Chains A and B, each alone.
Chain A
Amino acid sequence: MDAAKLLSASNLDVYRGNRLVLSNVELSLNEGEVVALVGPNGSGKTTLLESCAGMHRMTSGKVAWRDENGDVRIVRDFEGRRKRLPPMGLTLQKDGICGEETIEERLSTALSISGCAPSSSDLNQMLSAWGLEHRAVDRISQLSGGLRRRLAVLCGLSPAVMSANSRALLLDEPSEGLDESARGLLVNWMRALAAQGHGILIATHDPEMIAASDRIVSVLENGTLSSETQDCLAFAGELPDPCPAIEPNPLASHLRWAFRMEVRNPIDTISRLLPALISLLLIHTFVGEKEILVSGNDFLAALIIAPAFISVLVGPALIKRYAEADCGRWWSALLGPMHRISSSFIGASLILPLPLIYISWLILGDTAPAETSQDVLKSIWIIGLSLIDVAIAAAAVHLLVADLHRSNAAAASLLLLILVWPFIELTDALTIILNDGMTFGLGMEEPFTMILLASLTSVLIWLVAVFLPDV
């Protein structure tokens, strides 16, 4: 790849549905140029831009980016190889923002994920330039469509604005929904960024954006491209100064984002906790001491584990957050192959299994002798930990189903049937603990071995659900 090229797509064939949208496409983006992708609706502009971000499977070709060290990195190819994008800026057609975030958080996330450590004044300066400073601590869901779009565009531009290194920016219909002043500001910033050596690829219908570009690439109806250069006369505006660079840690940014969303609106916790507590109360109400004593310890063990097990099977709220305005696709583009792995952990119920299993024991275990009760209280946490493994496997299965276009119309529960096995193994282990006490031997009839097998089963299910889709 030429030293001046920031990214290149070569020999690209991409299908959307059954239609070949891009056919044998060659495209590159150089330092210091603004390239406009133009073409009629449905011609494949967005597909091409998103393919450059490694967001689509391709049936032939590859997409390569130049990283900050000057090395060429193939981010996606037709054989299924996928790597994380180097630091870059991305604005999707549907914003890619979850309404739960605040404006300041969103900008800060977009910058930290691309290795920038802006100060508060840096953030304020950028927000102020785009007329968003007074709404900095508001949730994005409270913004109008126009302000929300301003923020999405600013988040796409800021990784280059705050960086001294040349970076590529991919902006899909950036001027759509912006008023005249914001469009003018966008053109000024784009030209200033190009003057600093950054490269910008925009998909657009807007004549003003097309006029502000150095090269116009038309996506033709047969999926091929034609290209022409032009002299751009647009005026370059003034940009804020770059901020200090840090080592990008997208996984930490992702985790922080997910944690903030849940703390702000704990729908995941509530949607898991409620069915677990209802099942626990129903068991307590309708299953008496007599039934438990008659049915034996295996019945009691199943009742104790059931509420926590139910809580881990519930679909993660993360999937709903991802579905909002293509938020999940934005994260997927920036995290690359780590997205599914990271999401299966942060989408799982990691906290609830332990307290739930203790609550179940305290409510339902009063039929057990005092000595047994003490033993169970000391050892039941291991079963809780194993249920966390089950939770991670369940989240991975839900994420696999969420890959479907209409995932709401798919019955994920059918694939969760497999998780009955860890449940049975844990029930068996708890039965032995109730009968004979906890032991840590590794024989096949030892409770510790059974708990290990439950975890191993969950890990295998997780591996299959996480790695098969992306191979």
Chain B
Amino acid sequence: MFGIVVISRKQVGWAFTGLGSLGAIITAILSYTYAPGVDPEAWNAPEAYRILFWHVPFAWTSFVAYTILFVGSIAWYARRKEWGWRLVATGSDLGLLFGLGVVISGPIWGAAEWGVPWDWGDLRLNTYALLTGVALFIVLSRRSQPDGIDTRDTLSTVGLFGFALVPITALATTLYRERHPGVVIVKSEDSGLDPEISRVLLIGVLSFSLLMIGLSILTELSYRLHAELVELQQRLDEVVH
């Protein structure tokens, strides 16, 4: 009488993606209807701050995606693990998606608040731009290059190249004035955020995290299936020849 419900990985992926997308939309709605305005004396563009309800979750999820890319790059570079390559593929796809979210939403807010869309002296802004560039390079190259050990070796090297350059970026940028506000995910004495703002921000981070998990599962699954398809095609090639 108690039947066991078997949920496939694909269904789990779609469920997380759906919930995450819904949460992201709710976050956008709450940012206008629930989150209060900020002190107009302290901010140059008080209304523009609402874009941060998506900007911060984008930054958080892209950071997770780049970490996946980094772990995958190490696994392939050091041991040529097949799962490592799938992580490179998944991490670069999602890193590009969420990284673009950061580097697009950031300048929109920066243009309103600072008067300039980009600050070359800002550490986080430039690090994300650089890593998004690396992710875009890997995504484009995976599509344009023939798949094989040599290509994977080079692209995992590029993945490591991106991460090895982060400290260089840090070295260069710490010499410059930072305009970027402090990290704000939860309320702290430093951030001095209104509880309603913290709540909406937290909903945003959780929603984007769910979206990230869902898309990771689906992307990884699609690459796993693609690898199986390639193997079957190779076997078919052998039979035909």
Question: Would A19 and B234 count as touching, CB distance under 8 A?
Answer: yes
A375: min CB distance to chain B, Å: 23
Closest to B231 in A: A18
Question: Would A417 and B130 count as touching, CB distance under 8 A?
Answer: yes
Q: Please name all residues of chain B whose beta carbon is closer than 8 Å to the beta carbon of A405 when the two chains form the complex.
A: 145-146, 148, 150-151
A464 to B153 Cα, complex, angstroms = 15
Question: Would B157 and A461 count as touching, CB distance under 8 A?
Answer: no
Question: Would A418 and B146 count as touching, CB distance under 8 A?
Answer: no
Residue in B148, B153, B168 whose CB lies within 8 Å of A418: B168
Q: A421-B173, A424-B120, A461-B168 are in contact. Are A17 and B161 (CB under 8 A)?
A: no
A407 to B130 Cα, complex, angstroms = 20
Question: Would B140 and A410 count as touching, CB distance under 8 A?
Answer: yes
Q: Please name all residues of chain A whose beta carbon is closer than 8 Å to the beta carbon of B176 when the two chains form the complex.
A: 424
Residues of chain B at interface, number, CB under 8 A: 38
Question: Would B147 and A468 count as touching, CB distance under 8 A?
Answer: no
Contact with A along B125-167 (1 / 0, CB 8 A): 0100110011011001100111111110111011011001100
Q: Please name all residues of chain A whose beta carbon is closer than 8 Å to the beta carbon of B164 when the two chains form the complex.
A: 464, 468
Q: Please name all residues of chain A whose beta carbon is closer than 8 Å to the beta carbon of B161 when the two chains form the complex.
A: 400, 415, 464-465, 468
Question: Would A400 and B158 count as touching, CB distance under 8 A?
Answer: yes
Asked if A263 is at the interface (CB within 8 A of a chain B CB), the reply is no
Closest to A19 in B: B234
Question: Would A411 and B137 count as touching, CB distance under 8 A?
Answer: yes
A277: min CB distance to chain B, Å: 25
B188: min CB distance to chain A, Å: 30
Question: Would B154 and A464 count as touching, CB distance under 8 A?
Answer: no
Asked if A441 is at the interface (CB within 8 A of a chain B CB), the reply is no
A293: min CB distance to chain B, Å: 21
A453 to B160 Cα, complex, angstroms = 22
Asked if B4 is at the interface (CB within 8 A of a chain A CB), the reply is no
Question: Would B168 and A410 count as touching, CB distance under 8 A?
Answer: no
Asked if A260 is at the interface (CB within 8 A of a chain B CB), the reply is no
A57 to B171 Cα, complex, angstroms = 34
Q: Please name all residues of chain A whose beta carbon is closer than 8 Å to the beta carbon of B234 when the two chains form the complex.
A: 18-19
A59 to B134 Cα, complex, angstroms = 27
B226: min CB distance to chain A, Å: 12
- For this complex, 21 residue pairs linking A to B, each with C-beta atoms less than 8 Å apart, are A17-B146, A17-B149, A17-B150, A19-B234, A403-B154, A405-B148, A405-B150, A410-B141, A410-B144, A414-B134, A417-B130, A421-B168, A421-B172, A424-B172, A424-B176, A444-B175, A453-B172, A453-B175, A457-B168, A457-B171, A468-B157
